[in-house]
Structure 1
Amino acid sequence: MLIAAAGACSLLFSVGTAAADPSEEQGIDSELSQAIDDYIAAESELNAAEERQDEIKDEIVRTKEDIERLTVQVNEFAVAAYLNGGIPSAVSVLATGDPASAVDGLTTVSYLGDQSGQHLQDLVDAKEDLAAEEVALEDEVIAAENALADMKAARDAAARAVAAEGGGTSAGPTGSDAPAPEPAPRNTDGSFPYESCSVDDPTTGGCITPRMDHALTQAILVGFDRYTKCYRSAEDGGEHPRGRACDFSAAVGGFHGYAVGGDKAYGDALAGWFVEYGSELGVKYVIWFNMIWEPALGGWREYPGCGGTSPSCDHTDHVHVSMV
């Protein structure tokens, strides 16, 4: 698959080299960018906290089952010892009441030397584990509640930032017929790792992040193989100099102005594919046809661009994709 992708890249980026980059493209403002970052970070924290909650709940169930099993074993031994009169320490165990109640009060050291000593120690350890697990669960519930509050705050901040640009809700593409991509690698807690601009950009000779390279490769493999440019110099600002963004032309061979007909349909499908699989790929936001999609808002919003004066600035000739 990697060989096929490399071949596709070589073919794709050897054509249309005379096409102008979307140099007038305007990135999102810093307030919105930070709000999106905050939302994604809070979402990762929430997912991690909920996953840890599930793991701890499973541990609590197993520990309670161990406690029930060990309690039966210890009590059975204590009763047998008492009836046979063979182990005086068993009498001290039972002196506190019935066997089930006596387990919680076991402190006689000599009992640990009896045949059931290991069962008793296991029971004491299991009860200590249960107490620790219940405290850990409470901590994760609090962590999840805090992460959820942070998500809501970031979502509201993003909404305010978009509203300040004059962008209301809009109907944009949310899927395509293209196959699902291979998900991008994540940390063990479900978050995306930090990545630098460390991979050669096959579209410019600059650099992109491994996650951007993965998304670009996956897009090509499922059929979105038209002209694309990713890295741009630092003076352009935004995500391109960080290697975290690519511009996917709607037209074949280069950026050729306002997309219509088949080119518009291609751009719609591409934008919809990145929205549909944004979580799997690690998409931060998508801009297409004076609209922006990003996870904090949960849908498309109007994005004014340059008011129809430039296909590059209005993103009517290309789909802009930025990654976390």
Structure 2
Amino acid sequence: MSDLRRLLTAALACLTAVTLLAAPASAAPDEKGDGDLSAVLETTNRKYVAAKGAVTASRKKQKQLTSRLRAAEARRDALIPEVNQIARQQYQIGDLGTAGYLLNAGSSGDFLSKAVSLEEINRLHDGRLRELNAAIHTVESSKRQIDAEVKKEQEQLTVLARQREAARKQLELIGGSTGINPSITSGFVDADSKIAAPAPRNAGGGFSPEGCTEKDLTTSGCVTKRTLHMYKEVRKAGFKRFAGCHRTGGPFEHPKGRACDWSLQNRGFAVAHNDDMRRYGNDLTAFLVRNADRLGIYYVIWYKQIWFAAGNEWRSYSGPSAHTDHVHISML
């Protein structure tokens, strides 16, 4: 039992973003370098999200297996005394054998009683032994599966760490540094941010690439299903000021229907010049970052800062656009 308790302890320890306005084909001011992130970085992020999904799935399975293990152990422990009692009865009868046991009956009634008793003992013996064996098998199988899931989780945690470090290095190569101004990011962590409905994931727990197949509600262009889901969830959370998603021409996510720019006002774009605009941008960003894993967000840029999912931290952003007039969201 001490080994079992150690196994259970280890297993449990592991469990441990407007009123909708018609917009021109250009979704935002010209930003030829907007979202200038490498293909390597996107691949890194996809691997990170997939590994994170695998860790979550593994921990969920560990909890299920631990519950199954506890139930099987309880059944096993309850059956052992009963099987022992049956064994003692069989031992007491066994020396005489079946015929001898019955022939010792003092009367026809006693003979019938003993025959029924013997049949019952044998029936209980076979049934309880089968139950006990099944419970023991379930305990052993659950232990092996928990061990396998713990190993799988550790492997995926290693992948997470490796992809996070690779993302940091890629961000540094494209100008991302760690000098963050606290006064700018003070609104980026908001415990009251609403929880978004999760976007569908693939069987492996990640987000598969999607085509630009859905009508963009902000322009005459298209967006992916995941981007449309994000747009609706952002509006549902109360962020309804002007936004533009699809933009024709140029590289990166806008032409692919995988990015949106959220303005700080109800019409057009203007640099944040009062507390209301700054707070709106901060609160929107807080919502996006908090729900990035649920929505399948690739990265967020706001006020010279960039948040990238695999890095899971804010860094300064020195791209062509300072992003002081809108919050940019790119999707996987």
Is the TM-score greater than 0.5? yes
What are the within-5 Å matches in structure 2 for residues 1-324 of structure 1? 11-14=19-22, 17=24, 21-24=28-31, 25-27=33-35, 28-84=37-93, 88=97, 114-169=123-178, 170=180, 171=182, 172=185, 173-176=187-190, 180-187=194-201, 191=205, 194=208, 195-233=210-248, 235-256=249-270, 258-261=271-274, 262-306=276-320, 313-324=321-332
Q: Write out per-residue CA displacement over residues 126-162 of structure 1, whole angstroms, 9 at most, x where no aligned residue.
A: 2222222211111111111110000000010011111
Q: Write out per-residue CA displacement over residues 261-299 of structure 1, whole angstroms, 9 at most, x where no aligned residue.
A: 133332222112212332333322111122111232222
1:286 and 1:305, CA in 2 relative to 1: closer, same or farther beyond 3 A? Answer: same
1:177 and 1:18, CA in 2 relative to 1: closer, same or farther beyond 3 A? Answer: farther
Q: TM-score, normalised to structure 2's length?
A: 0.76
Question: How many Å separate the matches in 1 of 2:96 and 2:173?
Answer: 81
Which shifted more, 61-70 or 211-220? Answer: 211-220
SS state at 2:298 partner: strand
| Alpha-carbon contact 1:185-1:192 (below 8 Å) kept | no
Question: Highest CA radius of gyration, 1 or 2?
Answer: 2
1:111 and 1:162, CA in 2 relative to 1: closer, same or farther beyond 3 A? Answer: farther
Letter in 2 for 1:259: A
| Alpha-carbon contact 1:112-1:118 (below 8 Å) kept | no
Question: How many Å separate the matches in 1 of 2:39 and 2:234?
Answer: 27
Q: TM-score, normalised to structure 1's length?
A: 0.78
Letter in 2 for 1:44: G
> RMSD of aligned C-alpha atoms?
3.0
Q: Write out per-residue CA displacement over residues 185-229 of structure 1, whole angstroms, 9 at most, x where no aligned residue.
A: 445979355354332211123222333222212222332111111
Question: How many Å separate the matches in 2 of 1:159 and 1:193?
Answer: 21
Question: How many Å separate the matches in 2 of 1:295 and 1:111?
Answer: 65
| Alpha-carbon contact 1:19-1:254 (below 8 Å) kept | no
Letter in 2 for 1:218: E
Q: Write out per-residue CA displacement over residues 91-114 of structure 1, whole angstroms, 9 at most, x where no aligned residue.
A: xxxxxxxxxxxxxxxxxxx99964
| Alpha-carbon contact 1:231-1:246 (below 8 Å) kept | yes
Shift in Å, 1:84: 4.7
1:158 and 1:18, CA in 2 relative to 1: closer, same or farther beyond 3 A? Answer: closer
Question: How many Å separate the matches in 1 of 2:267 and 2:307?
Answer: 26
1:225 and 1:304, CA in 2 relative to 1: closer, same or farther beyond 3 A? Answer: same
Question: How many Å separate the matches in 2 of 1:315 and 1:254?
Answer: 14
1:188 and 1:285, CA in 2 relative to 1: closer, same or farther beyond 3 A? Answer: closer
Q: Write out per-residue CA displacement over residues 216-245 of structure 1, whole angstroms, 9 at most, x where no aligned residue.
A: 122223321111111233x42222233222
SS state at 1:236 partner: coil
| Alpha-carbon contact 1:39-1:154 (below 8 Å) kept | yes
SS state at 1:22 partner: coil
1:88 and 1:203, CA in 2 relative to 1: closer, same or farther beyond 3 A? Answer: farther
Question: How many Å separate the matches in 1 of 2:227 and 2:96?
Answer: 71
How many matched pairs?
286
| Unmatched segments (≥5 aa) in structure 1 | 1-8, 90-109, 307-312
Name which structure has the greater RCO, CA cutoff 8 Å, separation 6+: 2
Q: Write out per-residue CA displacement over residues 62-112 of structure 1, whole angstroms, 9 at most, x where no aligned residue.
A: 1111111222222121212333559849xxxxxxxxxxxxxxxxxxxx999
